[in-house]
Structure 1
Amino acid sequence: MIKRLCTLLLSLAVIWTVGAGTAQAEPGKRVHNAMQIVFSPSTPDSFCTIGAVGTDKYGHRIAISAGHCISDSTYADREIPDDIAPVYDRADIGFGPIGHVRYFKDPEGSQTGHVTKDYMVIELVPQVTLSSQGPYLKQTGEVKVPAGTASPNAPSPALDNERLLAPGDNELITSGQTGVWYGTIMDNEDGVYRSAATNMLGDSGGPAIWHVPGSDLPSPDNGFQVSGPWAGITKGFTLALPPFLYTSSANILADLRARDAATPHGVYGAGFEVTTDP
Protein backbone atom coordinates (compact mmCIF):
# COMPACT_ATOMS: atom_id res chain seq x y z
CA MET A 1 0.00 0.00 0.00
CA ILE A 2 1.46 3.34 -0.99
CA LYS A 3 1.84 6.00 1.68
CA ARG A 4 0.14 9.32 1.07
CA LEU A 5 2.54 11.93 -0.18
CA CYS A 6 1.43 14.63 2.20
CA THR A 7 -1.01 15.00 5.07
CA LEU A 8 -2.01 18.61 5.40
CA LEU A 9 -4.24 20.17 8.02
CA LEU A 10 -5.54 23.26 6.31
CA SER A 11 -6.42 24.88 9.62
CA LEU A 12 -2.67 25.32 10.21
CA ALA A 13 -1.97 26.84 6.83
CA VAL A 14 -2.37 30.42 8.04
CA ILE A 15 0.38 29.79 10.59
CA TRP A 16 2.63 28.39 7.85
CA THR A 17 2.06 31.45 5.68
CA VAL A 18 2.93 33.84 8.48
CA GLY A 19 5.99 31.76 9.35
CA ALA A 20 7.22 31.98 5.77
CA GLY A 21 6.87 35.75 5.68
CA THR A 22 5.02 37.85 3.14
CA ALA A 23 7.92 39.33 1.17
CA GLN A 24 7.90 38.53 -2.53
CA ALA A 25 10.76 38.35 -5.00
CA GLU A 26 10.69 40.34 -8.23
CA PRO A 27 7.47 39.87 -10.25
CA GLY A 28 7.56 37.48 -13.16
CA LYS A 29 8.53 34.21 -11.50
CA ARG A 30 7.72 31.52 -14.08
CA VAL A 31 5.31 28.73 -13.08
CA HIS A 32 5.22 25.71 -15.39
CA ASN A 33 4.39 22.04 -15.69
CA ALA A 34 6.65 19.66 -13.68
CA MET A 35 7.39 22.33 -11.02
CA GLN A 36 7.65 20.64 -7.62
CA ILE A 37 5.38 22.19 -4.98
CA VAL A 38 5.08 21.98 -1.20
CA PHE A 39 2.32 23.00 1.17
CA SER A 40 4.44 23.97 4.17
CA PRO A 41 7.94 25.52 4.26
CA SER A 42 8.74 23.23 7.18
CA THR A 43 8.24 20.02 5.16
CA PRO A 44 10.10 20.49 1.86
CA ASP A 45 10.47 16.75 1.35
CA SER A 46 6.70 16.21 1.29
CA PHE A 47 6.06 17.47 -2.21
CA CYS A 48 3.93 17.03 -5.28
CA THR A 49 4.21 18.35 -8.84
CA ILE A 50 2.27 20.71 -11.11
CA GLY A 51 0.61 19.03 -14.08
CA ALA A 52 -0.60 21.98 -16.16
CA VAL A 53 -0.81 25.78 -15.97
CA GLY A 54 -3.38 28.04 -17.60
CA THR A 55 -6.54 30.08 -17.08
CA ASP A 56 -10.20 29.31 -16.45
CA LYS A 57 -13.34 30.84 -17.94
CA TYR A 58 -13.56 33.33 -15.09
CA GLY A 59 -10.09 34.72 -15.69
CA HIS A 60 -8.40 32.99 -12.76
CA ARG A 61 -4.80 31.90 -13.28
CA ILE A 62 -4.80 28.19 -12.47
CA ALA A 63 -2.44 25.27 -11.88
CA ILE A 64 -3.62 21.66 -11.71
CA SER A 65 -2.11 18.94 -9.49
CA ALA A 66 -3.24 15.75 -7.70
CA GLY A 67 -5.95 15.85 -5.03
CA HIS A 68 -4.38 13.13 -2.91
CA CYS A 69 -1.47 15.47 -2.12
CA ILE A 70 -3.71 16.90 0.64
CA SER A 71 -5.77 15.02 3.20
CA ASP A 72 -8.25 16.98 5.27
CA SER A 73 -11.88 15.89 5.30
CA THR A 74 -13.00 19.32 6.55
CA TYR A 75 -12.04 21.00 3.28
CA ALA A 76 -12.13 18.16 0.75
CA ASP A 77 -14.51 18.37 -2.21
CA ARG A 78 -15.57 21.97 -1.64
CA GLU A 79 -14.50 25.39 -2.87
CA ILE A 80 -11.92 27.13 -0.67
CA PRO A 81 -12.20 30.86 -1.45
CA ASP A 82 -9.98 31.98 1.42
CA ASP A 83 -6.18 31.99 1.28
CA ILE A 84 -5.76 29.35 3.98
CA ALA A 85 -3.86 26.72 1.97
CA PRO A 86 -0.69 28.23 0.44
CA VAL A 87 1.40 26.48 -2.20
CA TYR A 88 5.15 27.04 -2.59
CA ASP A 89 7.73 26.35 -5.28
CA ARG A 90 9.87 23.68 -3.61
CA ALA A 91 13.00 25.13 -5.25
CA ASP A 92 12.26 28.70 -4.12
CA ILE A 93 10.25 28.65 -0.89
CA GLY A 94 11.62 32.11 -0.02
CA PHE A 95 9.49 33.62 -2.80
CA GLY A 96 6.43 32.99 -0.68
CA PRO A 97 3.23 31.37 -1.93
CA ILE A 98 2.92 30.99 -5.68
CA GLY A 99 -0.78 30.30 -5.17
CA HIS A 100 -3.48 28.90 -2.90
CA VAL A 101 -5.48 25.68 -3.08
CA ARG A 102 -9.08 26.36 -4.14
CA TYR A 103 -10.28 22.75 -4.44
CA PHE A 104 -9.06 19.22 -3.92
CA LYS A 105 -10.67 15.82 -4.15
CA ASP A 106 -8.98 12.98 -2.26
CA PRO A 107 -11.15 9.86 -2.24
CA GLU A 108 -9.91 6.98 -0.10
CA GLY A 109 -7.53 4.81 -2.07
CA SER A 110 -7.12 7.41 -4.80
CA GLN A 111 -3.47 6.61 -5.52
CA THR A 112 -3.91 2.88 -6.00
CA GLY A 113 -7.48 2.61 -7.30
CA HIS A 114 -9.34 3.84 -10.35
CA VAL A 115 -10.91 6.82 -8.58
CA THR A 116 -11.84 9.27 -11.33
CA LYS A 117 -11.69 12.61 -9.48
CA ASP A 118 -8.19 12.79 -8.00
CA TYR A 119 -7.22 16.39 -8.75
CA MET A 120 -6.42 19.76 -7.16
CA VAL A 121 -7.07 23.32 -8.36
CA ILE A 122 -4.58 26.03 -7.35
CA GLU A 123 -5.18 29.72 -8.00
CA LEU A 124 -1.85 31.38 -8.77
CA VAL A 125 -0.85 34.77 -7.39
CA PRO A 126 -0.57 37.81 -9.71
CA GLN A 127 3.20 38.04 -9.19
CA VAL A 128 3.96 34.91 -11.23
CA THR A 129 4.15 34.36 -14.98
CA LEU A 130 2.39 31.41 -16.59
CA SER A 131 4.39 29.17 -18.92
CA SER A 132 3.50 26.23 -21.14
CA GLN A 133 7.13 25.08 -21.15
CA GLY A 134 8.35 22.70 -18.47
CA PRO A 135 11.84 21.22 -18.14
CA TYR A 136 11.06 18.73 -20.93
CA LEU A 137 7.45 19.09 -22.03
CA LYS A 138 5.81 21.96 -23.88
CA GLN A 139 2.03 21.69 -23.60
CA THR A 140 0.03 22.70 -26.66
CA GLY A 141 -3.56 23.00 -25.49
CA GLU A 142 -5.61 20.05 -24.30
CA VAL A 143 -6.26 16.61 -25.80
CA LYS A 144 -9.44 16.71 -27.90
CA VAL A 145 -10.83 13.44 -29.25
CA PRO A 146 -14.06 13.99 -31.20
CA ALA A 147 -14.88 10.29 -31.50
CA GLY A 148 -13.50 9.07 -28.19
CA THR A 149 -15.35 7.44 -25.30
CA ALA A 150 -16.70 10.06 -22.90
CA SER A 151 -15.26 10.48 -19.42
CA PRO A 152 -17.59 9.07 -16.75
CA ASN A 153 -17.52 12.55 -15.18
CA ALA A 154 -18.83 14.29 -18.30
CA PRO A 155 -22.25 15.90 -18.51
CA SER A 156 -24.14 14.82 -21.60
CA PRO A 157 -23.24 15.47 -24.32
CA ALA A 158 -19.52 15.31 -23.61
CA LEU A 159 -17.19 17.90 -25.11
CA ASP A 160 -14.26 16.83 -27.27
CA ASN A 161 -11.81 17.60 -24.43
CA GLU A 162 -13.88 15.34 -22.14
CA ARG A 163 -13.30 12.27 -24.30
CA LEU A 164 -10.70 9.63 -23.56
CA LEU A 165 -7.70 8.29 -25.44
CA ALA A 166 -8.10 4.68 -26.53
CA PRO A 167 -5.69 2.13 -25.01
CA GLY A 168 -3.25 0.26 -27.22
CA ASP A 169 -3.00 2.94 -29.89
CA ASN A 170 -1.88 5.97 -27.88
CA GLU A 171 1.22 6.90 -25.90
CA LEU A 172 1.75 9.20 -22.94
CA ILE A 173 4.91 11.25 -22.45
CA THR A 174 5.57 12.22 -18.84
CA SER A 175 8.03 14.35 -16.91
CA GLY A 176 9.20 13.90 -13.32
CA GLN A 177 12.17 13.62 -10.99
CA THR A 178 13.97 11.05 -13.12
CA GLY A 179 13.54 12.86 -16.43
CA VAL A 180 11.15 12.30 -19.31
CA TRP A 181 9.49 8.98 -20.17
CA TYR A 182 6.96 7.58 -22.61
CA GLY A 183 4.81 4.49 -22.76
CA THR A 184 1.69 3.09 -24.42
CA ILE A 185 -1.65 3.46 -22.67
CA MET A 186 -2.33 -0.20 -21.94
CA ASP A 187 -5.58 0.25 -20.02
CA ASN A 188 -8.22 2.89 -19.52
CA GLU A 189 -10.60 2.23 -16.65
CA ASP A 190 -13.09 5.08 -16.24
CA GLY A 191 -10.58 7.62 -17.47
CA VAL A 192 -7.60 6.47 -15.40
CA TYR A 193 -4.81 5.49 -17.78
CA ARG A 194 -2.33 2.71 -17.03
CA SER A 195 1.00 3.05 -18.83
CA ALA A 196 4.65 2.04 -18.65
CA ALA A 197 5.64 5.74 -18.56
CA THR A 198 7.52 5.98 -15.27
CA ASN A 199 6.63 8.00 -12.20
CA MET A 200 7.71 7.90 -8.56
CA LEU A 201 6.81 9.26 -5.14
CA GLY A 202 6.66 13.05 -5.35
CA ASP A 203 5.71 13.09 -9.04
CA SER A 204 1.99 13.01 -8.16
CA GLY A 205 0.11 15.68 -10.07
CA GLY A 206 2.88 15.99 -12.65
CA PRO A 207 2.36 16.38 -16.40
CA ALA A 208 1.45 13.85 -19.05
CA ILE A 209 1.03 14.82 -22.69
CA TRP A 210 -0.30 12.85 -25.65
CA HIS A 211 2.26 11.73 -28.21
CA VAL A 212 0.62 13.02 -31.35
CA PRO A 213 1.23 10.44 -34.12
CA GLY A 214 4.10 11.56 -36.31
CA SER A 215 5.55 13.96 -33.75
CA ASP A 216 8.90 13.49 -32.04
CA LEU A 217 9.42 11.24 -29.05
CA PRO A 218 12.01 12.38 -26.49
CA SER A 219 15.53 11.38 -27.46
CA PRO A 220 19.13 12.63 -27.26
CA ASP A 221 18.67 14.08 -30.76
CA ASN A 222 16.07 16.61 -29.54
CA GLY A 223 17.55 17.09 -26.08
CA PHE A 224 14.53 15.20 -24.72
CA GLN A 225 12.44 18.29 -25.48
CA VAL A 226 9.01 17.44 -26.90
CA SER A 227 5.56 18.98 -27.22
CA GLY A 228 1.96 17.84 -27.29
CA PRO A 229 -1.47 18.48 -25.81
CA TRP A 230 -2.07 18.01 -22.10
CA ALA A 231 -3.42 14.49 -21.50
CA GLY A 232 -3.49 14.14 -17.71
CA ILE A 233 -1.63 14.12 -14.42
CA THR A 234 0.40 11.54 -12.52
CA LYS A 235 -1.70 9.56 -10.06
CA GLY A 236 0.55 6.85 -8.60
CA PHE A 237 1.53 3.25 -9.15
CA THR A 238 0.35 -0.20 -8.20
CA LEU A 239 1.59 -3.80 -8.28
CA ALA A 240 -0.22 -4.45 -11.55
CA LEU A 241 1.68 -4.30 -14.83
CA PRO A 242 2.33 -1.81 -16.20
CA PRO A 243 2.26 -0.18 -12.77
CA PHE A 244 1.92 3.55 -13.48
CA LEU A 245 -1.43 5.37 -13.28
CA TYR A 246 -2.49 8.74 -14.71
CA THR A 247 -5.73 10.68 -14.19
CA SER A 248 -6.89 11.81 -17.63
CA SER A 249 -7.34 15.48 -18.41
CA ALA A 250 -10.78 14.46 -19.73
CA ASN A 251 -11.84 13.37 -16.24
CA ILE A 252 -10.61 16.60 -14.66
CA LEU A 253 -12.13 18.94 -17.24
CA ALA A 254 -15.44 17.07 -17.24
CA ASP A 255 -15.72 17.15 -13.45
CA LEU A 256 -14.90 20.87 -13.39
CA ARG A 257 -17.69 21.55 -15.90
CA ALA A 258 -20.18 19.40 -13.98
CA ARG A 259 -19.38 21.07 -10.66
CA ASP A 260 -19.51 24.51 -12.26
CA ALA A 261 -22.99 23.83 -13.63
CA ALA A 262 -24.20 22.74 -10.18
CA THR A 263 -22.70 25.71 -8.29
CA PRO A 264 -24.54 29.09 -8.36
CA HIS A 265 -21.41 31.24 -8.51
CA GLY A 266 -19.20 28.81 -10.41
CA VAL A 267 -16.00 27.03 -9.42
CA TYR A 268 -12.31 27.76 -9.77
CA GLY A 269 -10.82 26.00 -12.78
CA ALA A 270 -14.03 25.64 -14.81
CA GLY A 271 -13.28 25.88 -18.52
CA PHE A 272 -9.56 25.45 -17.85
CA GLU A 273 -7.28 25.94 -20.85
CA VAL A 274 -3.51 25.44 -20.91
CA THR A 275 -1.64 28.72 -21.35
CA THR A 276 -0.13 29.54 -24.72
CA ASP A 277 2.58 31.67 -23.07
CA PRO A 278 6.09 30.34 -23.75
Structure 2
Amino acid sequence: MPISMKDWLGTFELSRPLGITMLMHPLIFFFAFSFIFLYHTRHEISIYQRKFHKRRIFLYIHIATGATEAFRYRLNEMLHGPSDTLPDSLGVLSCFIWGLTSLELVKTLRRGDPRTTRPPYQAGAILRPVVCLASYVFGIPALHRLSISALDSFIYARLAIFFFAYTPYIRSYSSGTIYAISIPLAAALSIHESQVPGASIIYVLTVSYITRLNEWVTHESRCLRSSKEVSSSVSPYWKSTVLMLINLGFVELEELRIVTRAKELENIVVDEYVPNKSMDLVG
Protein backbone atom coordinates (compact mmCIF):
# COMPACT_ATOMS: atom_id res chain seq x y z
CA MET A 1 0.00 0.00 0.00
CA PRO A 2 1.53 3.38 -0.97
CA ILE A 3 2.37 5.59 1.96
CA SER A 4 0.49 8.88 2.24
CA MET A 5 2.21 12.22 2.68
CA LYS A 6 0.63 12.53 6.13
CA ASP A 7 1.98 9.16 7.25
CA TRP A 8 5.39 9.92 5.77
CA LEU A 9 5.62 13.24 7.60
CA GLY A 10 4.29 11.57 10.72
CA THR A 11 7.41 9.46 10.95
CA PHE A 12 9.30 12.64 11.85
CA GLU A 13 6.88 14.10 14.42
CA LEU A 14 8.57 12.64 17.49
CA SER A 15 11.68 14.68 16.92
CA ARG A 16 11.57 17.33 14.24
CA PRO A 17 15.34 18.10 14.23
CA LEU A 18 16.08 14.38 14.03
CA GLY A 19 13.43 13.93 11.35
CA ILE A 20 14.86 16.71 9.21
CA THR A 21 18.30 15.12 9.54
CA MET A 22 16.92 11.74 8.49
CA LEU A 23 15.24 13.33 5.48
CA MET A 24 18.28 15.38 4.47
CA HIS A 25 20.66 12.42 4.50
CA PRO A 26 19.20 10.63 1.44
CA LEU A 27 18.64 13.97 -0.32
CA ILE A 28 22.28 14.93 0.20
CA PHE A 29 23.28 11.49 -1.05
CA PHE A 30 21.22 11.85 -4.23
CA PHE A 31 22.65 15.29 -4.95
CA ALA A 32 26.27 14.41 -4.11
CA PHE A 33 26.26 11.04 -5.86
CA SER A 34 24.59 12.41 -9.02
CA PHE A 35 26.91 15.41 -9.26
CA ILE A 36 30.12 13.45 -8.61
CA PHE A 37 29.02 10.55 -10.80
CA LEU A 38 28.29 12.83 -13.77
CA TYR A 39 31.53 14.79 -13.29
CA HIS A 40 33.57 11.62 -12.83
CA THR A 41 31.95 9.93 -15.83
CA ARG A 42 32.48 12.92 -18.09
CA HIS A 43 36.16 13.37 -17.25
CA GLU A 44 37.37 9.81 -16.67
CA ILE A 45 35.11 7.35 -18.47
CA SER A 46 37.14 7.81 -21.66
CA ILE A 47 40.27 6.71 -19.81
CA TYR A 48 38.48 3.67 -18.43
CA GLN A 49 37.09 2.79 -21.84
CA ARG A 50 40.58 2.79 -23.38
CA LYS A 51 42.04 0.84 -20.47
CA PHE A 52 39.24 -1.73 -20.37
CA HIS A 53 38.60 -1.76 -24.11
CA LYS A 54 38.17 -5.55 -24.04
CA ARG A 55 36.30 -5.57 -20.73
CA ARG A 56 33.93 -2.65 -21.08
CA ILE A 57 31.01 -4.90 -20.21
CA PHE A 58 32.52 -5.48 -16.74
CA LEU A 59 32.91 -1.72 -16.25
CA TYR A 60 29.31 -0.97 -17.23
CA ILE A 61 27.87 -3.81 -15.12
CA HIS A 62 29.96 -2.72 -12.14
CA ILE A 63 28.70 0.85 -12.37
CA ALA A 64 25.08 -0.21 -12.91
CA THR A 65 24.91 -2.70 -10.03
CA GLY A 66 26.58 -0.42 -7.50
CA ALA A 67 24.50 2.63 -8.45
CA THR A 68 21.26 0.61 -8.45
CA GLU A 69 21.92 -0.82 -4.98
CA ALA A 70 22.72 2.59 -3.53
CA PHE A 71 19.76 4.37 -5.10
CA ARG A 72 17.27 1.66 -4.13
CA TYR A 73 18.35 1.85 -0.50
CA ARG A 74 18.39 5.66 -0.34
CA LEU A 75 15.06 5.98 -2.14
CA ASN A 76 13.46 3.61 0.36
CA GLU A 77 15.06 5.63 3.16
CA MET A 78 13.68 8.87 1.75
CA LEU A 79 10.14 7.54 1.21
CA HIS A 80 9.72 5.51 4.38
CA GLY A 81 12.32 6.95 6.72
CA PRO A 82 15.16 4.95 8.29
CA SER A 83 13.92 1.41 8.70
CA ASP A 84 15.23 -2.06 9.33
CA THR A 85 15.37 -3.03 5.66
CA LEU A 86 16.93 -6.23 4.44
CA PRO A 87 18.30 -7.06 1.00
CA ASP A 88 16.13 -9.17 -1.27
CA SER A 89 17.43 -12.01 -3.44
CA LEU A 90 17.91 -9.60 -6.36
CA GLY A 91 19.97 -7.29 -4.14
CA VAL A 92 22.20 -10.16 -3.03
CA LEU A 93 22.73 -11.29 -6.63
CA SER A 94 23.49 -7.71 -7.67
CA CYS A 95 26.04 -7.38 -4.85
CA PHE A 96 27.84 -10.57 -5.89
CA ILE A 97 27.96 -9.41 -9.51
CA TRP A 98 29.34 -6.08 -8.29
CA GLY A 99 32.05 -7.91 -6.32
CA LEU A 100 33.09 -10.13 -9.24
CA THR A 101 33.27 -7.23 -11.69
CA SER A 102 35.21 -5.21 -9.10
CA LEU A 103 37.82 -7.97 -8.84
CA GLU A 104 38.05 -8.12 -12.62
CA LEU A 105 38.57 -4.37 -12.96
CA VAL A 106 41.02 -3.95 -10.08
CA LYS A 107 43.11 -6.87 -11.34
CA THR A 108 45.07 -4.56 -13.66
CA LEU A 109 44.67 -1.29 -11.74
CA ARG A 110 47.81 0.87 -11.96
CA ARG A 111 46.56 4.03 -10.25
CA GLY A 112 48.34 5.29 -7.16
CA ASP A 113 50.76 2.73 -5.77
CA PRO A 114 49.34 -0.61 -6.98
CA ARG A 115 50.84 -2.50 -4.01
CA THR A 116 48.79 -0.40 -1.59
CA THR A 117 45.92 0.83 -3.77
CA ARG A 118 44.66 -2.51 -5.06
CA PRO A 119 44.15 -4.29 -1.67
CA PRO A 120 41.48 -1.80 -0.43
CA TYR A 121 39.47 -2.45 -3.60
CA GLN A 122 40.01 -6.20 -3.34
CA ALA A 123 38.91 -6.23 0.30
CA GLY A 124 35.71 -4.39 -0.59
CA ALA A 125 35.01 -6.75 -3.48
CA ILE A 126 35.18 -9.71 -1.07
CA LEU A 127 33.60 -8.29 2.07
CA ARG A 128 30.57 -6.52 0.58
CA PRO A 129 28.97 -9.66 -0.92
CA VAL A 130 29.71 -11.64 2.24
CA VAL A 131 28.13 -8.96 4.44
CA CYS A 132 25.12 -8.64 2.13
CA LEU A 133 24.56 -12.41 2.10
CA ALA A 134 24.88 -12.58 5.90
CA SER A 135 22.27 -9.82 6.23
CA TYR A 136 19.92 -11.74 3.92
CA VAL A 137 20.39 -15.14 5.55
CA PHE A 138 20.40 -14.09 9.21
CA GLY A 139 18.05 -11.13 8.92
CA ILE A 140 20.43 -8.45 10.26
CA PRO A 141 19.49 -4.97 8.92
CA ALA A 142 22.68 -3.37 10.28
CA LEU A 143 24.76 -5.51 7.91
CA HIS A 144 22.68 -4.34 4.96
CA ARG A 145 23.29 -0.75 6.03
CA LEU A 146 27.00 -1.56 6.24
CA SER A 147 26.99 -3.03 2.74
CA ILE A 148 25.33 0.06 1.28
CA SER A 149 27.43 2.52 3.29
CA ALA A 150 30.56 0.96 1.81
CA LEU A 151 29.42 2.17 -1.61
CA ASP A 152 29.63 5.75 -0.34
CA SER A 153 33.41 5.42 -0.53
CA PHE A 154 33.00 6.37 -4.21
CA ILE A 155 31.80 9.80 -3.09
CA TYR A 156 34.29 10.21 -0.26
CA ALA A 157 37.23 9.17 -2.44
CA ARG A 158 36.48 11.82 -5.07
CA LEU A 159 35.95 14.48 -2.40
CA ALA A 160 39.24 13.50 -0.74
CA ILE A 161 41.11 13.63 -4.05
CA PHE A 162 39.63 17.06 -4.78
CA PHE A 163 40.50 18.29 -1.28
CA PHE A 164 44.09 17.05 -1.31
CA ALA A 165 44.69 18.19 -4.90
CA TYR A 166 43.31 21.72 -4.58
CA THR A 167 44.26 22.72 -1.05
CA PRO A 168 47.75 23.34 0.37
CA TYR A 169 47.40 20.42 2.79
CA ILE A 170 49.59 17.98 0.85
CA ARG A 171 49.98 19.99 -2.35
CA SER A 172 53.59 18.91 -2.90
CA TYR A 173 52.60 15.27 -3.41
CA SER A 174 51.89 13.73 -6.81
CA SER A 175 48.40 12.86 -8.04
CA GLY A 176 49.25 9.16 -7.76
CA THR A 177 50.17 9.55 -4.10
CA ILE A 178 46.99 11.52 -3.42
CA TYR A 179 44.97 8.75 -5.04
CA ALA A 180 46.75 6.08 -2.99
CA ILE A 181 45.94 7.98 0.22
CA SER A 182 42.35 8.83 -0.65
CA ILE A 183 41.06 5.36 -1.58
CA PRO A 184 41.64 3.48 1.72
CA LEU A 185 40.80 6.60 3.74
CA ALA A 186 37.45 6.97 1.95
CA ALA A 187 36.65 3.27 2.35
CA ALA A 188 37.35 3.28 6.10
CA LEU A 189 35.27 6.47 6.54
CA SER A 190 32.28 5.13 4.63
CA ILE A 191 32.36 1.87 6.59
CA HIS A 192 32.57 3.78 9.86
CA GLU A 193 29.48 5.73 8.75
CA SER A 194 27.40 2.55 9.01
CA GLN A 195 27.88 2.62 12.81
CA VAL A 196 28.43 -1.13 12.91
CA PRO A 197 30.89 -1.75 15.78
CA GLY A 198 34.27 -3.06 14.67
CA ALA A 199 33.48 -2.93 10.94
CA SER A 200 36.27 -0.47 10.11
CA ILE A 201 38.82 -2.50 12.09
CA ILE A 202 37.82 -5.71 10.30
CA TYR A 203 38.12 -3.93 6.96
CA VAL A 204 41.59 -2.54 7.74
CA LEU A 205 42.78 -5.97 8.91
CA THR A 206 41.38 -7.57 5.76
CA VAL A 207 43.25 -5.04 3.61
CA SER A 208 46.46 -5.86 5.49
CA TYR A 209 46.07 -9.61 5.01
CA ILE A 210 45.19 -9.24 1.33
CA THR A 211 48.36 -7.19 0.89
CA ARG A 212 50.33 -10.07 2.37
CA LEU A 213 48.37 -12.56 0.26
CA ASN A 214 49.36 -10.67 -2.91
CA GLU A 215 52.99 -10.80 -1.82
CA TRP A 216 52.80 -14.51 -0.97
CA VAL A 217 51.16 -15.47 -4.29
CA THR A 218 53.79 -13.42 -6.13
CA HIS A 219 56.59 -15.27 -4.30
CA GLU A 220 55.04 -18.68 -4.95
CA SER A 221 54.46 -17.90 -8.62
CA ARG A 222 58.07 -16.80 -9.07
CA CYS A 223 59.34 -19.95 -7.38
CA LEU A 224 57.25 -22.13 -9.68
CA ARG A 225 58.50 -20.27 -12.74
CA SER A 226 62.16 -20.14 -11.75
CA SER A 227 62.80 -23.81 -11.12
CA LYS A 228 61.42 -26.84 -12.97
CA GLU A 229 62.50 -29.06 -10.09
CA VAL A 230 60.48 -27.05 -7.61
CA SER A 231 57.53 -26.95 -9.97
CA SER A 232 57.57 -30.72 -10.51
CA SER A 233 57.78 -31.44 -6.78
CA VAL A 234 54.83 -29.24 -5.84
CA SER A 235 51.37 -30.75 -5.49
CA PRO A 236 49.04 -30.12 -8.45
CA TYR A 237 46.43 -28.86 -5.99
CA TRP A 238 48.93 -26.29 -4.70
CA LYS A 239 49.65 -25.14 -8.24
CA SER A 240 45.92 -24.91 -8.94
CA THR A 241 45.40 -22.80 -5.83
CA VAL A 242 48.17 -20.39 -6.81
CA LEU A 243 46.84 -20.21 -10.38
CA MET A 244 43.30 -19.55 -9.15
CA LEU A 245 44.49 -16.69 -6.96
CA ILE A 246 46.47 -15.23 -9.87
CA ASN A 247 43.42 -15.40 -12.12
CA LEU A 248 41.39 -13.59 -9.45
CA GLY A 249 44.07 -10.88 -9.33
CA PHE A 250 45.56 -11.61 -5.91
CA VAL A 251 49.11 -11.09 -7.10
CA GLU A 252 51.34 -8.07 -7.66
CA LEU A 253 51.14 -6.46 -11.08
CA GLU A 254 54.72 -7.19 -12.13
CA GLU A 255 54.11 -10.92 -11.78
CA LEU A 256 50.62 -10.72 -13.26
CA ARG A 257 52.00 -9.10 -16.41
CA ILE A 258 54.55 -11.89 -16.85
CA VAL A 259 52.18 -14.76 -16.11
CA THR A 260 49.03 -13.62 -17.91
CA ARG A 261 50.47 -11.25 -20.54
CA ALA A 262 47.48 -9.00 -19.88
CA LYS A 263 47.11 -6.38 -22.61
CA GLU A 264 45.90 -3.84 -20.04
CA LEU A 265 49.34 -3.96 -18.44
CA GLU A 266 51.18 -3.56 -21.71
CA ASN A 267 49.29 -0.53 -23.02
CA ILE A 268 50.34 2.94 -21.91
CA VAL A 269 47.46 4.78 -20.28
CA VAL A 270 47.48 8.58 -20.17
CA ASP A 271 46.22 9.03 -16.62
CA GLU A 272 47.39 11.59 -14.08
CA TYR A 273 46.92 9.08 -11.26
CA VAL A 274 49.26 6.51 -12.84
CA PRO A 275 52.84 7.33 -11.79
CA ASN A 276 55.56 7.14 -14.43
CA LYS A 277 57.38 4.43 -12.51
CA SER A 278 54.28 2.26 -12.87
CA MET A 279 54.87 2.22 -16.62
CA ASP A 280 58.39 0.97 -16.08
CA LEU A 281 57.24 -1.74 -13.71
CA VAL A 282 54.29 -3.14 -15.56
CA GLY A 283 54.44 -2.13 -19.17
Higher helix share: 2
Larger radius of gyration: 2
Higher strand share: 1
After TM superposition, the score normalised by the length of structure 1 is 0.29
After TM superposition, the score normalised by the length of structure 2 is 0.29
